[in-house]
């Protein structure tokens, strides 16, 4: 029975066909759902004819995996980092992820955070709800669990599957569920219905396939489909005669789809007919335009503009909001919510104050959110761009922010594989960069980590572009971009690249000057 000791905790996993395909470093990973453990994939794996090694594991607290965190403090982020730690511990080189319900949220979160590790992502029966409905859904789920001591399997048999009562698969699932701590099930369900999967899906750079059952009732797919239909790398399939227990209801069909998806060549095909080549892209743009117009009408005349690059400024309805931003973590909270448009109080506390006792962090957050809500309320009205719905927190309205625009530019440039287009995208990005990325504010580990990652992504793109210009003998463009990047991030690789270009161009005096600067920086 294989276990891996990770961070002082036993993680139970099973690795199938470890040497099945020596020509690839890929591993196919299955992440299970809320009310089961890794055995829920038994029937699917029996029908899966896959040439890759297959890994499945028990989430923390499920099956035979240990949990060392109080259940009420668990977040989606814990499960995502668990997956990262397991992949690292097993020294996997690249992965295909298949996630079901809670496992789908974990898979999407991992793929967004670690894009270079993931080849494809398949998301099954993924929870996704409009922000204004989340609290009522959470209340309904809590009422189902009230005065209960075990998972409400009779209810799940009635609402979550097309399989007849007493089916052998359901009997097995009921046995698996008996080994799951009820409090953990309740927490996992609450995390699932509260999650915002749309943000990570948009951040994923690899192909994404979403599978939803045609008879899905517990996690309706309409809102998810609306927000992903225009994403080029994302596709949605409706599985007939299936609901939430999609893995058990259609194992042969799901297995065939998985095999086709992970082995498919996902490179964009060369299309000679220019009309057909442009048709799909034009239609995606049109659908995106319709969605944006709908959102604009929904929040007509309610516009929030936030500038954080270089200096901080908030404009509400065209008028500057200048008072109150330098206290009660207002700037940091706003930045976090701009990057995570829909989240929970627990996620905020975990990200911004991970070392603070949770009760104290929650008490502080109540005060901070109340203050921020007042700052984001339109004058002489009751409308606020910040919505606090129980434990759920999200931004609403027509919101524009230079930070999110920059991140979108970075993601687009990172994904682009055609060198000439990538070069153009990086040129546009560098041109818009300020001397200082984010003005100094109350520093926390979360902000410092985010800021560091932002700098690293920009440096990676600038280095690529400078070296591309160097090959083209366009030294002036390469030097200009390197100098601009060095203004906000005196990075050793940037210095060295600049020195190399000056030397190659025969400007040894400039090369010596910048080498001295690099040495001074290195000794700081």
> pLDDT digits over 203-238, tens only?
898 999 999 999 999 999 999 998 888 888 899 999
Residue 199 has pLDDT above 90, yes or no: no
What's the pLDDT score for residue 194? 86
What's the pLDDT score for residue 153? 84
Residue 368 has pLDDT above 90, yes or no: yes
Alpha-carbon gap, residue 497 to 467, rounded angstroms = 8
Alpha-carbon gap, residue 156 to 242, rounded angstroms = 14
**Strand, helix or coil for residue 8:** coil
What's the pLDDT score for residue 111? 94
Q: Encode pLDDT of 463-486 as tens digits.
A: 999 999 999 999 999 999 999 999
User: What percent of the chain has pLDDT above 90?
Assistant: 50
What's the pLDDT score for residue 224? 92
User: What percent of the chain has pLDDT above 70?
Assistant: 93
Residue 99: band (very low, low, confident or very high) from pLDDT cuts 50, 70, 90: very high
Burial class (CB in 10 A: 0-12, 13-18, 19+), 290: exposed
Mean per-residue pLDDT, 166-171: 92
Mean pLDDT score across all residues of the chain: 88
Residue 19 has pLDDT above 70, yes or no: no
What are the Cα distances from residue 351, in Å, to 197, 203, 455, 478?
Answer: 17, 19, 19, 37
CA geometry: angle 130, 135, 136, nearest 5 deg? 90
Parallel, antiparallel, or unpaired: how do β-strands 303-307 and 313-316 relate?
antiparallel
Which one, of 270, 404, 275, 260, lies nearest residue 336 by Cα? 404
User: What residues are paired with 309 via a beta bridge?
Assistant: 438
Residue 299: band (very low, low, confident or very high) from pLDDT cuts 50, 70, 90: low
Alpha-carbon gap, residue 223 to 130, rounded angstroms = 7
| Model confidence, pTM | 0.65
Q: Encode pLDDT of 444-462 as tens digits.
A: 788 888 888 899 999 999 9
């Amino acid at each position: 029975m294989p276990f891996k000791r990770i961070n002082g905790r036993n993680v139970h996993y099973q690795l199938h066909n470890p040497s099945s395909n020596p020509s690839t470093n890929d591993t196919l990973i299955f992440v299970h759902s809320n009310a089961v453990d890794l055995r829920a994939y038994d029937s699917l794996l029996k029908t899966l004819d896959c040439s890759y090694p297959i890994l499945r594991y028990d989430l923390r607290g499920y099956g035979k995996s240990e949990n060392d965190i109080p259940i009420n403090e668990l977040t989606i982020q814990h499960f995502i980092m668990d997956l990262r730690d397991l992949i690292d511990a097993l020294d996997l080189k690249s992965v295909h992820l298949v996630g079901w319900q809670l496992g789908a949220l974990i898979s999407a979160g991992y793929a967004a955070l670690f894009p270079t590790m993931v080849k494809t992502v398949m998301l099954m029966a993924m929870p996704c709800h409009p922000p204004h409905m989340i609290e009522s859904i959470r209340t309904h789920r809590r009422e189902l669990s009230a005065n209960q001591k075990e998972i409400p399997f009779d209810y799940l048999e009635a609402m979550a599957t097309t399989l007849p009562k007493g089916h052998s698969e359901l009997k097995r699932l009921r046995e698996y569920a008996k080994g799951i701590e009820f409090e953990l099930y309740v927490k996992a369900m609450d995390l699932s219905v509260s999650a915002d999967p749309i943000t990570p899906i948009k951040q994923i750079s690899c192909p994404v396939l979403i599978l939803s059952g045609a008879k899905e009732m517990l996690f309706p797919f309409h809102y998810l489909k609306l927000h992903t239909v225009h994403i080029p790398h994302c596709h949605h399939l409706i599985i007939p005669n299936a609901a939430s227990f999609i893995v058990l209801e259609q194992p042969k069909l799901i297995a065939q789809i998985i095999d086709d998806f992970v082995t498919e060549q996902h490179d964009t095909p060369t299309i000679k007919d220019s009309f057909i080549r442009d048709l799909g892209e034009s239609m995606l743009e049109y659908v995106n335009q319709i969605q944006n117009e709908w959102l604009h009408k929904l929040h007509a005349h309610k516009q929030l503009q936030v500038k954080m690059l270089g200096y901080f400024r908030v404009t509400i309805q065209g008028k500057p909001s200048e008072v109150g931003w330098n206290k009660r973590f207002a700037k940091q909270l706003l930045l976090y919510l701009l990057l995570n448009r829909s989240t929970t109080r627990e996620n905020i506390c975990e990200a911004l104050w991970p070392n603070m006792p949770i009760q104290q962090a929650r008490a502080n957050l109540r005060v901070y959110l109340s203050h921020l809500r007042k700052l984001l309320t339109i004058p002489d009205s009751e409308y606020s761009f910040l919505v606090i719905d129980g434990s759920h927190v999200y931004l609403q309205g027509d919101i524009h922010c230079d930070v999110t625009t920059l991140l979108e530019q970075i993601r687009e440039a990172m994904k682009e594989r055609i060198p000439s287009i990538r070069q153009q995208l990086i040129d546009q990005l560098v041109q818009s960069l300020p001397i200082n990325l984010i003005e100094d504010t109350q520093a926390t580990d979360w902000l410092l980590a985010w800021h560091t990652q932002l700098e690293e992504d920009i440096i990676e793109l600038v280095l690529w572009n400078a070296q591309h210009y160097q090959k083209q003998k366009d030294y002036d463009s390469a030097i200009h971009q390197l100098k601009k990047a060095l203004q906000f991030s005196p990075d050793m690789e940037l210095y060295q690249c600049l020195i190399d270009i000056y030397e190659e161009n025969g400007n040894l005096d400039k090369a010596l000057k910048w080498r001295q600067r690099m040495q001074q920086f290195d000794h700081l």
